[in-house]
Chains A and B, each alone.
Chain A
């Protein structure tokens, strides 16, 4: 008696394919991209503030408030970035502590 070999089960072919999770485009959407963009913007604010303090030291600064505004902006932006980073780390540790 011959045993027919196990063939392809026809039922499986009709399974709906799972929608794949699209990988976030680099520098674009997604949390990593957002963080990178914001860090770049923060870097810009800090370099602007640095330029103005150099100008103040060399006596080229015509508007004192320009430096004060730039330093306020960079400090608030830094606080914002740190807050976002803390929240992200908090969420990550929360996930890691999850009992599976």
Chain B
């Protein structure tokens, strides 16, 4: 742990939740991205987080991204420009309700890490007041 361990750890948490927010926003933005039935559907983005060893650097690290299924779901939409002979298009298999829930969790996680930073900074500044003559 360095001198400002709590700040660095909370910063890593903020970075991880920021990447989560990025992934969720990507999924929501592409929720209506259709593709041809002979092509892959938009694959939902998910981040893979891993805990750093405590006592070392500490915190959390995003080790990579995982992708949802390329199957998607087939939707009957004969007027769609990408529809095949049977009038089907491939839509991504993303649930908006699930994405909104993830968005809220990520946002709250980000805010929680901000609170940690504020409290830690206050604590460090209070420590500087220690023994100061008034």
Total interface residues on A, CB under 8 Å, equals: 13
Q: Mask for A46-85, Cβ within 8 A of B = 1, else 0?
A: 0000000000000000010110110011001101100100
Contact A80 B7 (CB under 8 A): no
Q: Mask for B21-53, Cβ within 8 A of A = 1, else 0?
A: 000000000000000000000000000000000
- With beta carbons under 8 angstroms apart, the residue of B7, B15, B128 that contacts A79 is B128
Contact A72 B7 (CB under 8 A): yes
Contact A72 B14 (CB under 8 A): no
What is B's interface to A at a CB cutoff of 8 Å? 3-4, 7-8, 10-11, 14-15, 18, 114, 117, 121, 124-125, 128, 132
Contact A69 B128 (CB under 8 A): no
Give the chain A neighbours of B125 by CB distance below 8 A. 76, 79
Give the chain A neighbours of B114 by CB distance below 8 A. 65
A-B contact pairs, 30 of them (CB 8 A): A41-B3, A63-B11, A63-B14, A63-B15, A63-B18, A65-B11, A65-B14, A65-B15, A65-B18, A65-B114, A65-B117, A66-B11, A66-B15, A68-B117, A69-B8, A69-B11, A69-B117, A72-B7, A72-B117, A72-B121, A73-B4, A76-B4, A76-B124, A76-B128, A79-B125, A79-B128, A80-B124, A80-B128, A83-B128, A83-B132
Contact B14 A77 (CB under 8 A): no
Give the chain A neighbours of B128 by CB distance below 8 A. 76, 79-80, 83
